[in-house]
């Protein structure tokens, strides 16, 4: 999979991993007052989450960004194609609360509260499909921008002054969470979902607001991807979280699914920040395609064209041989990839293997790597498709967890 036959080299430049940690820390909590609309802020300068305009997804929104075209073309290994229509649940019994990753291209250190194509596209890729299993809530928040992330690696300096810490970022997320609990939750079970910067927010939210608190009993599960939930080696709990365990069964409730993805033939280099052990703790990895352990075949939904944030190249390798037109925004590729949690040295991660079928007419290539002028930046792994390669499986597991949660509620 790491060879040229399996790499999509049509990609854009991305910052090296060496600058990620510092840039990420700067980006999370900085803000410029000019970047947020006064009408969306309270007198205290915090987002007014009673205002529908501060949400990307909420059940009552007339412009609900989770209500988008999610139909997929199913491509068999032979190359045969069929259309799978998406249908959202009509009356789901659980909720999902999503915090999106670093997507904003706003010019400052931190984004404003006005969504654009970047936030909308991420919802479509990483969250909208969960409408099959839950009511959906996705707040806008003043996140650290791609501009701030790329600055230490040679990108342009963000405009404006760095604002004081403690404004925006996580503070917005916890405000949105508290508004949701007060006005929408009404005792329902909830799944928290986050990727990358959003995963870091969800980790902190769970650690500070849920772990060991009364609301923990309403936690159906957490899906924390492209970040590092830490555990003592060989243990399920005791690092990032004190009482919330890793998931090891599809119907286990109140647990965490977490991983960072790398090609199986391109493991994390020493420069990688993903999957790295630290302070005597190990990065956790749970394979949604086989939570009990070992290899599994995830149900994938890939964008027909492009990747998260428009990064990694704006054209996926042709999905069929020869290339055929595809009319849906997503493709589903049964059996194309398999996944397994592995530990190599100080890194623990989800290894993604491409299963070639030379006699078939479906591609044996999978994009998603980040390229720099020196070539593939292996330190990022398959960060851009952390969610895509297991999206269908994550939906299935969350549905199973939700059903188990409801059975538990009924038995109380």
**What's 63-127 look like in SS3?**
CCCCCCCCCEEEECCCCCEEEECCCCCCCCCCEEEEECCCCCCCCECECCCCCCHHHHHHHHHHC
Report whether pLDDT(88) > 70. Answer: yes
Res 11 pLDDT > 50: no
Q: Which residues contact 238 (CB under 8 A, 6 or more apart)?
A: 231, 232
How much is the average pLDDT of 320-339?
97
**pLDDT tens for each residue of 183-237:** 999 999 999 999 999 999 999 999 999 999 999 999 999 999 999 999 999 999 9
- Would you call 280 exposed, middle or buried from its count of C-beta atoms within 10 A (0-12, 13-18, 19+)? exposed
pLDDT of residue 154: 83
Residues 295-313, mean pLDDT to the nearest whole number: 86
Whole-number pLDDT of residue 375: 72
Q: Is 0.85 surpassed by the pTM of this model? A: yes
Average pLDDT, whole number, for the chain? 90
For residue range 143-182, list pLDDT tens digits in order: 998 888 888 878 899 999 887 888 899 999 999 999 999 9
Q: How buried is 102 (Cβ within 10 angstroms: 0-12 exposed, 13-18 middle, 19+ buried)?
A: buried
CA 160 to chain centre: 29
What's the rounded Cα separation, in Å, for the pair 145 and 162? 12
């Amino acid at each position: 999979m790491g060879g040229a036959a399996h790499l999509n080299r049509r990609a854009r430049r991305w910052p090296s991993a060496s600058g990620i940690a510092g840039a990420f820390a700067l980006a999370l909590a900085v803000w410029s007052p000019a970047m947020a609309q006064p009408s969306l802020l309270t007198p205290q300068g915090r987002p007014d989450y009673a205002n529908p305009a501060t949400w990307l997804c909420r059940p009552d929104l007339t412009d609900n960004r989770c209500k988008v075209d999610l139909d997929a073309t199913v491509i068999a290994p032979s190359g045969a194609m069929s259309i799978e229509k998406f249908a959202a649940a009509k009356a789901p019994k659980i909720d999902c609360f999503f915090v999106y990753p670093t997507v904003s291209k706003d010019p400052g250190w931190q984004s404003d509260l006005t969504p654009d194509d970047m936030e909308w596209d991420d919802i479509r890729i990483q969250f909208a499909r969960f409408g099959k299993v839950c009511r959906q809530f996705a707040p806008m928040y003043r996140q650290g921008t791609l501009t701030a992330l790329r600055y230490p690696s040679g990108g342009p300096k963000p405009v404006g002054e760095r604002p004081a810490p403690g404004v925006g970022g996580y503070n917005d997320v916890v405000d949105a969470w508290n508004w949701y609990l007060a006005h929408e939750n009404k005792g329902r079970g909830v799944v928290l979902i986050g990727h990358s910067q959003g995963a870091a927010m969800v980790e902190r939210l769970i650690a500070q607001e849920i772990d060991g608190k009364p609301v923990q009993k309403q936690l159906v599960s957490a899906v924390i991807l492209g970040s590092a939930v830490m555990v003592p080696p060989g243990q399920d709990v005791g690092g990032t979280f004190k009482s919330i365990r890793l998931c090891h069964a599809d119907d286990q409730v109140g647990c965490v699914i977490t991983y960072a993805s790398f090609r199986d033939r391109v493991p994390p280099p020493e420069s990688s920040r993903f999957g790295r052990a630290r302070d005597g703790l190990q990065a956790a990895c749970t394979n949604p395609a086989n939570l009990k352990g070992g290899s599994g075949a995830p149900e994938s939904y890939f964008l027909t064209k492009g990747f998260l944030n428009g990064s990694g190249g704006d054209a996926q390798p042709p999905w069929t041989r020869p290339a055929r037109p595809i009319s849906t925004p997503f493709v589903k590729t049964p059996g194309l990839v398999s996944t397994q949690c592995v530990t190599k040295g100080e890194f623990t991660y989800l290894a993604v293997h491409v299963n070639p079928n030379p006699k078939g007419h479906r591609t044996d290539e999978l994009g998603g790597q980040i390229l720099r002028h020196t070539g593939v930046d292996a330190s990022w792994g398959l960060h851009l498709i952390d969610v895509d390669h297991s999206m269908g499986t994550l939906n299935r597991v969350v549905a199973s967890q939700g059903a188990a949660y409801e059975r538990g509620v009924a038995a109380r």
